[in-house]
Amino acid sequence: MASLRGLIVGVVGAGAMGRGIAQVAASAGHRVVLGDARDGAVEQARETIRSSLARDVANGRVAAAAADDTLARIANDDVAGGLRAYAPCDVVIEAIVEELDAKRALFAALEERVPRECVLASNTSSLSIAALGGGVAHADRVVGMHFFNPAPRMPLVEIVPAITTSPEVASRMRTLADSWGKTTVVASDTPGFIVNRIARPFYGESLRLLEEGTADVATIDWAMREIGGFRMGPFELMDFIGNDVNYAVTSSVFEATFYDPRYRPALTQRRLVEAGLLGRKRERGYYDYRAGAVTPSPAQDHVLGAAIVDRVLAMLVNEAVDAVHLRIASPNDVELAMTKGVNYPRGLLAWGDQIGAPEILRRVEWLQSEYGEDRYRPSPLLRRRVREGRPLLSTNA
Ligand SMILES: NC(=O)c1ccc[n+]([C@@H]2O[C@H](COP(=O)([O-])OP(=O)(O)OC[C@H]3O[C@@H](n4cnc5c(N)ncnc54)[C@H](O)[C@@H]3O)[C@@H](O)[C@H]2O)c1
């Protein structure tokens, strides 16, 4: 394979993610081929990249000539014309619609075009990489490369090897993403990978608190922001992500874990989706964003706020410890993923150590005895760490 910078990078899908990934690769000096099945999509993507680079130039982050060079490095492919422009690619990253059959058909068609050594990477958020590899002749070259939105700004990339992926392919893709200035972590091919799995209780536990009438959305958001130190509260974040998208991620993790009750979606969120209250993009979600709407005020009760944060945080730490227990990622990668992928104020394992593993265990056991639900089972590794008196942020020996 040519030197890293000389690699030609293909991106299929020129939507929110694909255009961001194309911008990242072109900014790093690669020739990029960008294609989309929809007429005009690549031109639109090019305009979005142009404005994004113009902002970087205005802020002094990028020189004007470098921005022009970046755009000039992106060539179009007419996907309808049989993916011909992808023929010289060393790696193709797909960011098309989140449907297994569509992605498998695309990889199979690409295999007809690209050289044997070309890596086929998927930006899927929820599909199994093994299932994508199962649809091609050479599954050893299929790997997950999960970027976060917006790709040019968010530093994290989860590298996801499947059981069939060649270790050399995974390590090459990690080196490539590192060379783009990304923070890379390795995740096992499991539902939600690292970030979308461990973050579930941030939403799920907050929804339970809402459903039980412990507090309203404004108060829970206020507590998680002001006391917990999170950049956004769970409800404002769900409205920002889109309740349809957030609900779909939770549902997919729930189904893909054979209905583990820890990830059970909330009826409250389902009803919002059914009613079309999708969040900011529809001007209504948990909050009303229409002109003249009154923003609800939080209760600002510090005792209640601390109890909310204690409960949500205990479930998040338990989830992070369980990800280490199940070897989904190393403790260090768990910390990096949550701070770089979703901007948590600190790594959950270190946070749990600061609170004290025995205290986290006490909180989760209390929830388990109070509710009698398997949802609140403590991770076996949390129990073991407490028994051994070892920190949560220690190697998984
Ligand atoms: N949006 C996010 O926050 C986010 C984050 C990480 C990963 N992802 C994943 O990235 C992928 C793309 O998501 P998105 O948000 O960019 O979607 P999007 O809808 O913005 O873009 C998808 C693009 O793919 C094109 N497309 C669909 N089928 C195609 C095909 N067969 N061949 C070529 N082009 C095709 C569509 O025309 C569209 O332009 C999905 O797998 C998604 O799960 C999304």
74 — phi, psi (to 5°)?
A: -95, 115
Which residue has the least CA distance to atom 37 on ligand 1?
Answer: 38
**Given 146, 236, 243, 246, which residue is catalytic?**
146
Looking from the CA of residue 36, the nearest atom of ligand 1 is 34
pLDDT of residue 396: 66
Buried residues in 287-321 as b, exposed as e (16+ CB within 10 A):
beeeeeeeeeebeeeeebbebbbbbbbbbbbbbbb
Q: What is the mean pLDDT of residues 201-229?
A: 98
Which residues have C-beta within 8 Å of that of residue 222, sequence separation ≥ 6?
A: 233, 298, 299, 300, 305
pLDDT of residue 240: 95
59 is catalytic: no
Angle separating helix axes 243-256 and 200-211, nearest 10 degrees: 110
What is the pTM (predicted TM-score) of this model? 0.96
pLDDT of residue 353: 98
For residue range 20-63, list pLDDT tens digits in order.
Answer: 999 999 999 999 999 999 999 999 999 999 999 999 999 999 99
Looking from the CA of residue 241, the nearest atom of ligand 1 is 3
**Given 123, 196, 206, 246, which residue is catalytic?**
196
pLDDT of residue 2: 56
For residue range 146-197, list pLDDT tens digits in order.
Answer: 999 999 999 999 999 999 999 999 999 999 999 999 999 999 999 999 999 9
For residue range 327-366, list pLDDT tens digits in order.
Answer: 999 999 999 999 999 999 999 999 999 999 999 999 999 9
Q: For residue 397, what pLDDT band results from cuts at 50, 70 and 90?
A: low
CA of 14 to the centre of ligand 1 (A): 7
Whether the CB of 151 sits within 6 Å of ligand 1 = no
158 is catalytic: yes
Looking from the CA of residue 97, the nearest atom of ligand 1 is 27
Whether the CB of 38 sits within 6 Å of ligand 1 = yes
What is the chain's Cα-based Rg?
A: 22
CA of 124 to the centre of ligand 1 (A): 9
CB atoms within 10 A of CB 236: 21
Q: How far is the C-alpha of 291 from the C-alpha of 353, rounded, in Å?
A: 44
pLDDT tops 90 at residue 3: no
CA of 9 to the centre of ligand 1 (A): 17
Q: How far is the C-alpha of 243 from the C-alpha of 230, rounded, in Å?
A: 19
pLDDT tops 70 at residue 318: yes
For residue range 59-108, list pLDDT tens digits in order.
Answer: 999 999 999 999 999 998 877 778 999 999 999 999 999 999 999 999 99
Whether the CB of 110 sits within 6 Å of ligand 1 = no
Looking from the CA of residue 79, the nearest atom of ligand 1 is 33
Whether the CB of 14 sits within 6 Å of ligand 1 = yes
Pairing of strands 119-122, 142-147: parallel
- Omega before residue 261 within 30° of 0, cis: no
**Given 30, 94, 158, 319, which residue is catalytic?**
158
Looking from the CA of residue 125, the nearest atom of ligand 1 is 43
Q: For residue 5, what pLDDT band results from cuts at 50, 70 and 90?
A: confident
CA of 106 to the centre of ligand 1 (A): 13
For residue range 101-136, list pLDDT tens digits in order.
Answer: 999 999 999 999 999 999 999 999 999 999 999 999
Whether the CB of 106 sits within 6 Å of ligand 1 = yes
3 state SS for the chain: CCCHHHCEEEEECCCHHHHHHHHHHHHCCCEEEEEECCCCHHHHHHHHHHHHHHHHHHCCCCCHHHHHHHHHCEEEEEHHHCCHHHCCCCEEEECCCCCHHHHHHHHHHHHHHCCCCCEEEECCCCCCHHHHHCCCCCHHHEEEEEECCCCCCCCEEEEEECCCCCHHHHHHHHHHHHHCCCEEEECCCCCCCCHHHHCHHHHHHHHHHHHCCCCCHHHHHHHHHHHCCCCCCHHHHHHHHCHHHHHHHHHHHHHHCCCCHHHCCCHHHHHHHHCCCCEHHHCECCCECCCCCCCCCCCCCHHHHHHHHHHHHHHHHHHHHHHHHCCCCCHHHHHHHHHHHCCCCCCHHHHHHHHCHHHHHHHHHHHHHHHCCHHHCCCHHHHHHHHHCCCCCCCCC
Q: Exposed/middle/buried for 387, CB within 10 Å: 0-12, 13-18, 19+? A: exposed
For residue range 234-288, list pLDDT tens digits in order.
Answer: 999 999 999 999 999 999 999 999 999 999 999 999 999 999 999 999 999 999 9
